[in-house]
Structures are given as C-alpha cells and as structure tokens.
Amino acid sequence: MMRVLSNLNPQTLRILALLLVLTLVILFFSTQISNYLNGRLFNRISSSVAIMALIATAQTLVILTRNIDLSVGSIVGFTAFATGSLIAAFPNMNPLLLVAFSMLVGAGFGAFNGFFVAYARVPAIIVTLATMALFRSLLVEFADGKSITSSLLPQWLTSFPNTPLFEIGQFQFRAAFVVAIVIVFAVHIALQRLRVARRLYAVGSNPEAAEMAGINLKATVFVAFVCSGALAGLAGFMFLARFGNITVVAGLGFELKSVAAAVVGGVNIFGGSGTVLGALIGAILVDLIETSLVRWQLVSEFWREAVLGALILTAVALDAIVMRRLIALRAARHHEKREQKMEGTG
C-alpha cells in the first residue's frame, strides 16, 4: 500500500487524503445525526464556504511565498462596508462595476502590505499584524458609528448568494458558491500551469535559488500580496451580499480561520508547497465540522471550538509524520535502485 502511494505526487496524495478524511467525517456524522445527508446540509455548507474558500485562497497565495497575511479579516470587513456604502449611495450602479470596486479596494490594501513586506523588507507577520489593526481602525473611522443594513441594499445584491444556478438532484448550486469554486479552480490551474504563477512556489521554497534563476523576488512577493488583497476584497463583496448587515466587527477573526483552513489543507506554513485546492478542501472540512457539531446531540454545541482545535493539531501532526515516512521510504527505494544498478554494471 505504502509502495503504491509513494509513487504518487505528494500533492495529489494530500488531496486524496483530505478527500478521504472529508468522506469519513460525513459518514461519521450521518450515523450520528438523523436526516443529516440532505440538500440543506449542502446548501448551508456551500453558502459559508463561498466566503471562506476565497479567503483561504488569498491566504494560500501569500503563505506559498513564505509570508503570512493577518490583515485579511480587516480587509474583508473594510471592503464589505465600503462596497455597501457605495451601493447604498448609488443604487443603480452596474453590478460588475461594484465587484470591480471591492476587488480594487482589497488590492489597494494588499499593495500596502506588499510594499512594506517586499520593498521595505519588514517581516510579513509584523506588517500584517500592524495593518490588521490599522485597516480595522480605518473602518471604524470611515463607518463613523453607522452600520450598513440590508434595507439599504438593492434586491439583486442580497438575493445573489441564494440564487440557484443549477441543481443536481437535491443539491442546489447557488451563485456565490459557484463563483467562488470557479475562481478557486482558476487560481489552482494557474498555479500549476502558468510559468509566472510557479514563481510563487520558487520564491517560497528557496528565495536565493529563485533569485539566481532570475526571478524578481520583490515583485513576486508584492504581486502575491496584491492578488491576495483582491481576493479578500471579493470575499468582502460576498460577505456583504450574504449577511447584508455590516458593522465595524465584520470579518473579525477571519485571519486565523484562513490560516487554519490553509494549514489543514496541507499548505506548508514555511512556504513553497501546498495547493489552493487543498486549502479549499481544508475550508470545507473546517466548516463541515463546525456546522455538524452544532447539530450533534451527543455533545453540547460549546464543544465546537475545542474539537476544532484538536482536529487541526491532529491533522497537521499526522501530515508531518506521514510525509516524513514517505520521504524516508522514497530515499530508501532510491538507494535500493542505485545498488541494483551498481550490481548490474559491476
């Protein structure tokens, strides 16, 4: 078994393992909760994953380059509020223009982070720790004690996340979810196939080597932050559409949730390896467990976070141990083959 598995690409292996865990979790809860496996579960998970998937993707782009973005929650909060105020002031605005606005605001914040990390060479954890507070205080200043309510928003915006695009059996595929999934897959394919996007991996796994190979380190890190900011801005738009009511605490705590989703999804916190697809499954897994625990009769809903913390720790520890084993196994087999070759020639 181990032999066959070790032939696979570690990234593929990780995604297979995550899908296996996801299936096991679903099977487990379906034995525990009556009437669990139905369309409503899918709808519930898919509406919140629409937001989390974008944020996890945003976080992954930055983590791949050996950085971290703790300000995503504040970016989501600010863009949600700013986008809401804009549409409230101009109700007849073109929807695409509104989306572009939210992504632009997010990208602006990302550029601010990226400038300090890439060009001023301030460690990302310091910059984004600071901007997490800074962007949030900008939001407080901007909001000036007011909040956005769904009555201020046009009908199309608040109904957008719940509009079913198509249905497969009981499963409704709603607009927000479909958009988010399409974006995640697009980013995934770009990261695997595009030369420019592969630079993120190169920079994250070995900055010196990447520079030797002619990659512009600073520009790459800067662009990663800008893209991450734009995705967080889009998530802000989704947040506004889904909840309608936005206060100054919107998106609070998303930074740690996004890191958790990415890490559970097998993205290496030290950069250079991991996939956006993994982060998406990580986000789904985290969300599925959170939602299911609330409905599980056997434990009180207050166990949700405690179980989640234990789960993340187990997932990461198992991942590290299995990966170490696989690497050792591969090295041993490589050695074996070489010995055989030596015997053959000798």
Q: Give residues in contact with another protein (CB under 8 A).
A: 68, 70, 116, 120, 122-123, 125-127, 129-134, 136-141, 248, 256, 259-260, 263, 269-270, 300, 302-310, 312-313, 316-317, 320-321
How far is residue 212's CA from residue 126's CA, in Å, rounded to a whole number? 27
CB of 251 to another protein, least distance (A): 13
Q: Which residues contact 217 (CB under 8 A, 6 or more apart)?
A: 118, 203, 207, 210, 211
* Shorter beta-carbon distance to another protein: residue 25 or 181: 25
Minimum separation from the CB atom of position 73 to another protein (A)? 11
Beta bridge partners of 148: 246
Q: Between 53 and 259, name the residue whose CB sits nearer to another protein.
A: 259
CB of 326 to another protein, least distance (A): 16
Minimum distance from residue 135 beta carbon to another protein (Å): 8
Q: Which residues pair with 171 in a beta bridge?
A: 168
Q: Which is nearer to another protein, 80 or 179 (CB)?
A: 80
How buried is 53 (Cβ within 10 angstroms: 0-12 exposed, 13-18 middle, 19+ buried)?
Answer: buried
Q: What is the dihedral of CA 198, 200, 204, 207, to 10 degrees?
A: 90
Cβ–Cβ under 8 Å, residues 147 and 247: yes
Cβ distance to another protein smaller for residue 68 or 176: 68
Q: Compare residues 61 and 103 and give the one whose CB is closer to another protein.
A: 61
222: left (phi over 0), alpha (psi -120 to 50) or beta: alpha
Nearest-approach distance from CB 145 to another protein, in angstroms: 10
Tokens of 342: 């030596």
